[in-house]
Amino acid sequence: MKAVLGLEDGTFVIGEGLGVEGIVQGELVFTTQYTGYEEALTDPSYKGQILMFTYPLIGNYGISGETFQSNCMQAEGLVVREACDHPSHHMSKRSIYEYLKDEGKSGIMGIDTRMLTIKTREHGTMKAAIIVGSDDGKEAVRLAREQEDIGKLDLIGKVTCKRPYQMKGQKDGDNIVVMDFGVKRNIIKSLNNRGVNVTVVPATTPVKDIMNYEPDAILLSNGPGDPQQAVNGISVVKELAGQLPIFGICLGHQIISLALGAQTYKMKFGHRGANQPVKDLERGIVYITSQNHGYAVDESSIDTKEITITQYNTNDKTVEGLKHRDLEIMSVQYHPEANPGPLDTEKIFFDRVVETTKKIKVMVK
C-alpha cells in the first residue's frame, strides 16, 4: 500500500504504508533509541507527534503489551526505515503491523529516515502529515502546513485521566498525589515498589481537592506539549510550595520551574532517546538517561538565590535537575523510571522522593 510523508517546508517522500489507510498530522520528531518501541509508542508525551525511529529496523521482537506505558498508542503516527513483519520473541503476541491496525493508526516505511533526521537536526522539528493510500506529495505538504502549531494545542487535556484513581503500595506507606499530565505507568510502579500509596488526579484538579486526599507529597508527571499550557499545575505548585514536598519529572520539572519564576523555551529538535548523558553536580557523576522532551528550562531565567541547578546535560548544557534552596522542591528533566532506557537514576530519584517525604512527615508530626 503506497504512502507519502510531507513536511511544512515542502519536502515529501513516498514509501510504503503501515497500519490503516488515512491521514495523520503532527509534529515530526525523532528518537535515537534502538529498542523500547512499545514503551515509546504508548508514552503520552508523544501525543500530537509523529514518531520517527533513527534505528533502521523496528519491530523485530514484536508487541507483547507487557511494557506499555498507557492503554493505547499515543504517537499520532510512525515513521521507520523498515518494519519487521515476522517478529521473534517468546512474549510477542503480534507484529508492529498488526498493532498499528488494531490501534487504528497509520505510518510509513521504506523511506530515507537518515535524510529526514539530518533535516530535522539542522532545521528543527516541523509540522508533518502522512497519507496512507496515496502518493500525492503536494497534498501531504498542504496538510502538514494547515495544522496548528503543537505549542498551541491542549495536548494535556487529551491524555490526563478523566477521574482520580488509586494504586496501592503498602498499608502504612506514604501517600503521594500524582498530578497526571500524561503519566507513564512506570512512574506509578516505581513509587508502588517503594511502598508508596499513589493517588493519580487529573491535571485540572484544584488544590482543595488535592488536599482532601491528605497527601504527604505531590509529584507532577511527564506529559506532552508546552508547559505554559499547564496553568492549573503552575498554580498548584505556587500554592503548595512550602506546605508539602513537591517533585517533578520532565513536563512536571518544567511546570515547577515556571511556578518558581523561571522561563521555558522550545528546543530546536529536543532530546528523545535512551542515551542522554547527564552530570550530577552534587555527586560529580555522569548518568545515562532516558529522555523525551521538546521544551527546556532557560538557565538564564533561574533565580539562583532560591534555586540550585543540580544537573546538566553534558551534550548541550541544558538544565536537567533543580532543587529549591529552602523548600522541599526537587525536579528532573529526564525520565528516572526509564521504560525504555537505562535505570541509572531510578533508585537515586525515587529513593530521594520517599526519603524526603518521610523526613518531612516526621518533622510535621
Q: For residues 59 and 202, state if they share a domain.
A: no
- Nearest 5°: phi and psi at 259? -65, -30
Provide mean pLDDT across the span 297-309: 98
- pLDDT above 80 (res 184): yes
Could you tell me how many residues make up the chain?
365
Instruction: Give residue 359's pLDDT.
Output: 87
Share of the chain above pLDDT 70, in %: 99
Q: Looking at 81, 113, 147, which one is the last position of a domain? A: 147
| Number of domains into which the chain is organized | 2
Instruction: Give residue 361's pLDDT.
Output: 73
Sign of CA dihedral 289, 240, 189, 224: negative
- Cell 490526563 belongs to residue: 160
Q: Indicate the SS3 state at residue 243.
A: coil
Torsion of CA 33, 38, 44, 46, to 10 degrees: 40
- pLDDT above 60 (res 365): no
Tens of pLDDT, residues 347-364: 999 999 999 999 887 675
CATH of the domain at 359: 3.40.50.880
Q: For residues 58 and 163, state if they share a domain.
A: no
Q: Are 201 and 220 in contact (CB under 8 A)?
A: no
Return d(Cα 41, Cα 75) in angstroms, integer: 6
Instruction: Give residue 360's pLDDT.
Output: 82
- Is 89 tagged catalytic? no
From the list 253, 271, 293, 335, the catalytic residue is 335
β-pair type (22-31, 49-53): parallel
The band of 159, judged by pLDDT with boundaries at 50, 70 and 90, is very high
From the list 250, 293, 328, 346, the catalytic residue is 250
Q: For residues 309 and 348, state if they share a domain.
A: yes
Q: Are 272 and 125 in contact (CB under 8 A)?
A: no
Q: For residues 13 and 128, state if they share a domain.
A: yes
Tens of pLDDT, residues 72-116: 999 999 999 999 999 999 999 999 999 999 999 999 999 999 999
β-pair type (57-58, 175-180): unpaired
Q: For residues 126 and 32, state if they share a domain.
A: yes
Q: Which domain holds residue 171?
A: 156-364
Q: Are 78 and 105 in contact (CB under 8 A)?
A: yes
Tens of pLDDT, residues 4-26: 999 999 999 999 999 999 999 99
- Is 250 tagged catalytic? yes
Angstrom CA distances, 194 to 70, 169, 302, 357, stand at 21, 7, 32, 12
Q: Looking at 121, 147, 173, which one is the last position of a domain? A: 147
Instruction: Give residue 138's pLDDT.
Output: 98
Tens of pLDDT, residues 275-292: 999 999 999 999 999 999
Q: For residues 225 and 347, state if they share a domain.
A: yes
Instruction: Give residue 311's pLDDT.
Output: 98
Q: Looking at 114, 147, 180, which one is the last position of a domain? A: 147
Residue 183 cell numbers, joined: 503519566
Task: Identify any residues that bridge with 127 across adjacent strands, giving them in sequence order.
Answer: 27
- Is 72 tagged catalytic? no
Q: For residues 142 and 103, state if they share a domain.
A: yes
- pLDDT above 90 (res 240): yes
Using a cut of 0.95, tell me whether the model's pTM lies above it.
yes
The band of 51, judged by pLDDT with boundaries at 50, 70 and 90, is very high
Q: For residues 172 and 227, state if they share a domain.
A: yes
Across the chain, what does the average pLDDT equal?
97
Angstrom CA distances, 252 to 90, 100, 125, 242, stand at 36, 29, 22, 17
Tens of pLDDT, residues 108-140: 999 999 999 999 999 999 999 999 999 999 999
Instruction: Give residue 15's pLDDT.
Output: 99
Residue 324 DSSP label: E
CATH of the domain at 19: 3.50.30.20
- pLDDT above 90 (res 67): yes
From the list 8, 76, 337, 346, the catalytic residue is 337
Q: How many CB atoms lie within 10 A of CB 76?
A: 22
Tens of pLDDT, residues 255-282: 999 999 999 999 999 999 999 999 999 9
